[in-house]
Amino acid sequence: MNDIRSISKEALNNFLTNIGVERFRTKQVWNWLWKNFVSSFDEMVNIPVLVRDKLKENFRFPTYEVIKVSESKDGTTKMLIQFFDGSQIESVLIPTEKRLTACISTQDGCPVGCTFCATALMGFKRNLNAGEIYAQVVILNKLALEKFGKQLTNIVIMGMGEPLLNYEQVMMFCNILSSEDGMLFSSGRITLSSIGLPKMIKKLTEDNSKFNLAISLHATSDEKRSKIIPASKAYSIEELIKSLDNYCKTTGKQITFEYILLKDFNDSPEDARNFVKISRKIPSKVNIINYNTFDNTFFEKSDDKTTADFINILEQNRINVRLRISRGSAINAACGQLAGRKKDVK
């Protein structure tokens, strides 16, 4: 049985009209689903009981439960959320002076297998649907209001999973979130983060995506990149840049390169100079990220001097670069550390 929050508005409309329900009911049901984010068909009080019964017979209503909350001293809060089938994912609220950012997940586990990432160690269970992704925003927005009296300001799709491998449901989520049907969240404040799959970047280009795109580069040669991002063996950095160039020209947007500094692996002056050459090819800015270690990783964080030298080389070459401060590492909520499982719950 399909989850009612995984189907498009058009599919919902087709279902309702096929069973003889007036068209205006589609908007009403859609509003209950997305604007009001109700927890059951029975809460759709202006929908006739007979129609609600038909919906119940044909669709599953999504359930979710927050089963663990961890808070770090810097205010970063991580939630472990469980869905109807026992799938568990993590989402993080990151408060800074100016922003309240939700970092959300799009898959239970991840099939990409990056060797520096805790999520990869979980393997891959399944894609999340648009409703399960949206539920994370609803939960974190409620928390933001409770703790800070303000709504979320930014959404980064940088949690567990590779969003472009769950393209349809991720785009449905982004489109609803930024529309009047959802929270009317500014598309310029929603960032999709990907390892950069040229085929899917082509799709984003064709769809004229209005959302920000961040590309996890993490290495400047194909050889090194394929060692830490196994899925990148299938295409070269050159192919990736070509697809990004086309994306930037068509959408008029710039991209952000994300680069985690790994000690003695990708942090040499030569790596920095190669990075300059790559980032000059397309309109871009660069986020350098300190590595956040976790159990069973064999990588280490680059030391402060190496990090500063690396950034200096980029700055001297007029690359727009900043060191992204990782938050929540004490509760394993920082970049690359998400790996929620029920067994972790105490």
Active site residues: 90, 335
Select from 52, 50, 92 the least CA-distant residue to 75.
Answer: 92
Cβ distance 108 to 117 under 8 Å? no
CA torsion angle for 242, 246, 249, 250 (degrees, to 10)? -170
Nearer to ligand SF4, 119 or 307 (CB): 119
| CA atoms of 140 and 90, how far apart (whole Å) | 11
Site for ligand SF4 (CB under 6 A): which residue of 55, 104, 117, 143?
117
* Torsion, CA 67, CA 123, CA 199, CA 323, rounded to 10: 70
Among the listed ranges 58-66, 76-84, 114-122, 323-331, the one in contact with ligand SF4 (CB under 6 A) is 114-122
Tell me whether residue 21 or residue 114 sits nearer to ligand SF4 (CB atom). 114
Q: Percentage helix, strand, coil, to 5, in the chain? A: 40, 20, 35
Q: Which stretch binds ligand SF4 (CB under 6 A): 23-31, 110-118, 172-180, 250-258?
A: 110-118
Whichever of 176 and 195 has its CB closer to ligand SF4, that residue is 195
Q: Select from 4, 7, 12, 114 the one that contacts ligand SF4 (CB under 6 A).
A: 114
Q: Which stretch binds ligand SF4 (CB under 6 A): 105-113, 135-143, 219-227, 286-294?
A: 105-113
Question: Are the C-beta atoms of 88 and 339 separated by less than 8 Å?
Answer: no
* Residue span binding ligand SF4 (CB under 6 A) among the ranges 109-117, 181-189, 240-248, 326-334: 109-117
Report yes or no: 35 and 291 within 8 Å, Cβ to Cβ. Answer: no
Site for ligand SF4 in 216-275 (CB under 6 A): none
Q: How far is the CB of 110 from ligand SF4 (least distance, A)?
A: 3
Q: In this structure, how many other beta carbons lie within 10 angstroms of the beta carbon of residue 233?
A: 11
**CA–CA distance, 125 with 309 (Å, rounded to integer):** 40
Cβ atoms within 10 Å of 298's Cβ, excluding its own: 8
Do 208 and 250 meet the contact criterion of CB atoms below 8 Å apart? yes
Of 13 and 302, which CB lies nearer to ligand SF4 in the complex structure? 302
State which of positions 182-201 bind ligand SF4 (CB under 6 A): 195
In whole angstroms, what separates CA 164 from the centre of its chain?
9
CB of 121 to ligand SF4, least distance (A): 9
Binding residues among 279-338 for ligand SF4 as defined by CB under 6 A: 336
Contacting residue, 72, 88, 119, 302, with ligand SF4 by CB under 6 A: 119
Name which of residues 133 to 172 contact ligand SF4 (CB under 6 A): 160-162
CB of 104 to ligand SF4, least distance (A): 12
How many chain residues touch ligand SF4 (CB under 6 A)? 12
Instruction: Give the nearer residue to ligand SF4 in terms of CB position, either 51 or 92.
Output: 92
Q: Which is nearer to ligand SF4, 166 or 284 (CB)?
A: 166
Measured distance CA(7)–CA(131) in Å, rounded = 9
Q: Of the candidates 222, 344, 346, 230, which has an alpha carbon nearest to the alpha carbon of residue 294?
A: 344
Residues forming the site for ligand SF4 (CB under 6 A): 110, 112-114, 117, 119-120, 160-162, 195, 336
